[in-house]
C-alpha cells in the first residue's frame, strides 16, 4: 500500500467533484474547490477521522468495499478506480514484464506493410517496429537502446512540446500513471524522476495525477516528404505480456490516407 500516493490521489479527486453533482448546496462560505472531507466521509458511509487519515497518509489498509464507496462519491472512471485499488494494495493480476516481443507479434509487424506500427512496454520503451514506422518517424535503431522511449522523445528535446503534441504527452502521462507501476517499478521510477527533473511540463502533468488508460490517440504531425498527417493511433494489448501494439492509421480517401500511401511508396522494394 502506497499511503502517500493514495492520499494525494484522494485529495486531487475530491477537489474535482462539485457539490451540486452530489446534491449538496455550494454555500457562500465554501473556500476550497470540490467537496469537503466531511462530505466525502458522510456520502461514503465512513467516519470523518478515518477519511482524514487516509488523505494524510496515516490511515489503515482500506477494504475494497470502502474503496468502492469512495470511488462512487469521487465519481472515478473505471481506470481511476483500478488505480485507486492498486494504490491501496489491491492490484489486479499483471502481465509478466519483459522486453522480448513474441514471435507472432513480430510476424504481424512484418505483414503490416502499409501501416506504421511498433511495440512498446509500460514505460513507453520502443521494443520493435516495422519499416513504415521508420518511414514515419525515423529509425529507432539509430538511437542508443536507452533512448528508444517515446516519452523521452516528447519531453526530452530542445523544444518543449506544444499544441497537439503537448496534448498527446498529457494522455501518455495519464496512461503511465494508470499502469500502477509507480513507484514500485524501479525502471518507471527512474524515468519519472529523470523527466520530472528535466521537463517542467512533464513534472506538472505528473503532479496533476490524471489517470486514463489510453486505447486510442490522435497524432498530428508534418512529415518532411508527404506533408501534414492526422493519424489515429490504436493501442492494442499483447496478451500475456506487459506490452502493447501501436498502429497508426488514417481513414481511406482522406488526405492523410493518401499521404500514408505515398509514404508506403517511399519504401525500398
pLDDT of residue 97: 65
Common-topology check for domains 3-87 and 103-265: no
pLDDT of residue 110: 92
User: Residue 236: which residues within 8 A CB-CB, separation 6 or more?
Assistant: 244, 245, 246, 247
Distance, in Å, from the CA atom of 90 to the CA atom of 68, rounded to the nearest integer, reads 12
Distance, in Å, from the CA atom of 173 to the CA atom of 179, rounded to the nearest integer, reads 10
User: Residue 202: which residues within 8 A CB-CB, separation 6 or more?
Assistant: 151, 155, 169, 173, 195, 196
Task: Tell me which residue of 265, 146, 151, 259 sits closest to 214, measured CA to CA.
Answer: 151
Using DSSP, state whether 84 is helix, strand or coil.
helix
pLDDT of residue 19: 84
Class of domain 103-265 as given by CATH: alpha beta
- Count how many Cα atoms sit within 13 Å of the Cα of residue 189 in the half-sphere of its side chain: 5
pLDDT of residue 75: 92
Domain boundaries along the sequence of the chain: 3-87, 103-265
Distance, in Å, from the CA atom of 137 to the CA atom of 145, rounded to the nearest integer, reads 16
Instruction: Kindly list the averaged pLDDT for each block of 10 residues, start to end, along the chain of length 269.
Output: 89 89 71 85 93 88 90 90 89 68 94 94 96 95 92 89 91 92 88 96 96 90 94 91 93 94 90
Q: In this structure, are residues 130 and 112 in contact, taking their beta carbons and an 8 Å threshold?
A: yes
Distance, in Å, from the CA atom of 263 to the CA atom of 96, rounded to the nearest integer, reads 35
pLDDT of residue 243: 93
Task: Tell me which residue of 151, 135, 16, 145 sits closest to 80, measured CA to CA.
Answer: 16
pLDDT of residue 78: 83
Q: In this structure, are residues 214 and 175 in contact, taking their beta carbons and an 8 Å threshold?
A: yes
Task: Tell me which residue of 77, 80, 128 sits closest to 241, measured CA to CA.
Answer: 128
- Residue 209, number of CB atoms within 10 A of its CB: 18
Task: Tell me which residue of 243, 253, 172 sits closest to 210, measured CA to CA.
Answer: 172
Distance, in Å, from the CA atom of 165 to the CA atom of 12, rounded to the nearest integer, reads 25
Distance, in Å, from the CA atom of 20 to the CA atom of 241, rounded to the nearest integer, reads 43
- Residue 76, number of CB atoms within 10 A of its CB: 21
Distance, in Å, from the CA atom of 61 to the CA atom of 41, rounded to the nearest integer, reads 16
CATH assignment of 3-87, among 1.10.260.40, 3.40.50.2020, 3.40.830.10, 1.10.3720.10: 1.10.260.40
Amino acid at each position: 500500500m502506497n499511503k502517500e500516493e493514495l492520499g494525494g490521489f484522494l485529495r486531487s479527486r475530491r477537489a474535482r467533484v462539485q457539490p451540486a453533482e452530489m446534491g449538496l448546496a455550494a454555500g457562500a462560505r465554501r473556500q476550497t474547490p470540490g467537496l469537503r472531507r466531511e462530505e466525502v466521509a458522510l456520502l461514503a458511509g465512513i467516519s470523518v477521522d478515518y477519511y482524514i487519515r487516509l488523505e494524510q497518509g496515516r490511515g489503515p489498509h482500506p477494504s475494497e468495499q470502502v474503496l468502492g464507496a469512495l470511488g462512487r462519491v469521487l465519481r472515478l472512471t473505471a481506470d481511476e478506480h483500478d488505480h485507486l485499488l492498486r494504490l491501496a494494495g489491491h492490484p489486479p493480476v499483471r502481465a509478466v514484464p519483459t522486453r522480448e516481443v513474441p514471435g507472432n507479434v513480430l510476424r504481424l509487424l512484418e505483414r503490416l506493410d502499409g501501416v506504421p506500427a511498433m511495440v512498446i512496454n509500460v514505460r513507453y520503451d520502443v521494443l520493435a517496429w516495422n519499416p513504415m514506422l521508420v518511414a514515419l518517424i525515423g529509425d529507432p535503431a539509430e538511437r542508443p537502446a536507452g533512448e528508444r522511449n517515446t516519452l523521452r522523445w516528447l519531453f526530452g528535446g530542445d523544444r518543449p512540446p506544444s499544441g497537439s503534441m503537448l496534448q498527446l504527452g498529457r494522455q501518455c502521462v495519464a496512461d503511465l500513471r494508470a499502469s500502477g507501476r509507480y513507484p514500485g517499478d524501479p525502471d518507471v521510477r527512474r524515468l519519472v524522476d529523470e523527466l520530472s527533473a528535466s521537463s517542467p511540463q512533464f513534472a506538472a502533468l505528473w503532479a496533476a495525477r490524471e489517470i486514463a488508460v489510453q486505447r486510442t490517440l490522435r497524432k498530428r504531425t508534418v512529415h518532411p516528404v508527404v506533408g501534414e498527417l492526422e493519424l489515429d493511433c490504436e493501442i492494442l494489448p499483447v496478451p500475456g505480456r506487459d506490452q502493447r501494439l501501436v498502429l497508426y492509421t488514417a481513414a481511406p480517401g482522406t488526405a492523410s490516407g493518401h499521404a500514408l500511401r505515398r509514404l508506403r511508396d517511399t519504401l525500398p522494394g
